[in-house]
Amino acid sequence: MREGPDIARIASLVGDPARANMLTALMGGTALTASELALEAGVSLPTASSHLSKLMEGGLLTLASQGRHRYYGLAGPQVAGMIEAITGVAASVGPQRVRPGPRDAAMRVARVCYDHLAGEQAVAMLDRLVDKKVLIRDDNEIRLGQSAASHFAALGIDVQSKARRPVCRACLDWSVRRSHLAGTLGAAILDKILLEKWARREKDSRAVIFSPLGKQAFERTFLA
């Protein structure tokens, strides 16, 4: 027998389809109620409740009670990173699903992935930042370029990471099979997009909808 952390326990929590769907839904970044997660997972409310208590016990979720609503969210970036890693493997080895990407066009263009932007817009943005050498990509790794600090400071974004997570990281975009920007920088950029009201989050969805002017501003800022 082996020692060490009980990885089978954690993996089997993710290994149930209903729970996997819930966790994937929570990658949207916003905490959801038990009913919403039941709907996402396609199971009854009691079943969902049972799964949620298991995920809680496993330490994968946090719970915020607000009156009679109980909001479940991912326990932290480390958990989100694990889901990402598993998703990456599943996307690369998995038997390609029939539908190559999200059915919803808006989701394909731009959506939230835990705390950063994903979708075609996000992929284009990362490509452009790499072209401009603001960021440097070594395949799966992303580093800050020389001009990164000043470039982002001009947008009011501090690239110094104080949190215990990477500044920038590549996150595989399963809808287009390309990478987009995750990490604190990815999160900060999404914050800015929403703060400047360039885009809004679709209610009850991970889709991010750009306004006409917001789209222009975004493209001027990140795709120019």
Partner DNA sequence: AGAATGCTTCGATGAAGGACGAACTATGCG
Partner DNA sequence: CGCATAGTTCGTCCTTCATCGAAGCATTCT
| Residue 203 binds: one of DNA, its own copies, none (C-beta under 5 to 8 A by kind) | none
Residue whose tokens read 């009691």: 46
| Residue 35 binds: one of DNA, its own copies, none (C-beta under 5 to 8 A by kind) | DNA
> By CB under 7 A, how many residues form the interface with DNA?
23
Burial class of 214 by CB neighbour count within 10 A (0 to 12, 13 to 18, 19+): middle
- How much helix, strand and coil, in percent to the nearest 5, is found in the chain? 45, 20, 35
| Nearer CB in complex with DNA: 48/185 | 48
d(CA 209, CA 198): 9
Pairing of strands 208-210, 169-173: unpaired
204 is an interface residue for its own copies by CB under 8 A: no
* Cβ–Cβ < 8 Å for 191, 137: no
> Using CB under 7 A, which residues numbered 17 to 46 contact DNA?
17-18, 33-35, 43-46
| Nearer CB in complex with DNA: 30/49 | 49
| Nearer CB in complex with DNA: 46/76 | 46
Among 76, 106, 64, residue whose Cα is nearest residue 203:
106
> Using CB under 8 A, which residues numbered 49 to 68 contact its own copies?
58-60
* Cβ–Cβ < 8 Å for 23, 83: yes
**Residue ranges in contact with its own copies by CB under 8 A:** 1-17, 19-21, 23-25, 40, 42, 58-60, 75, 78-79, 81-95, 97, 99, 101-103, 138-141, 143-144, 161, 163-167, 169, 174-175, 183
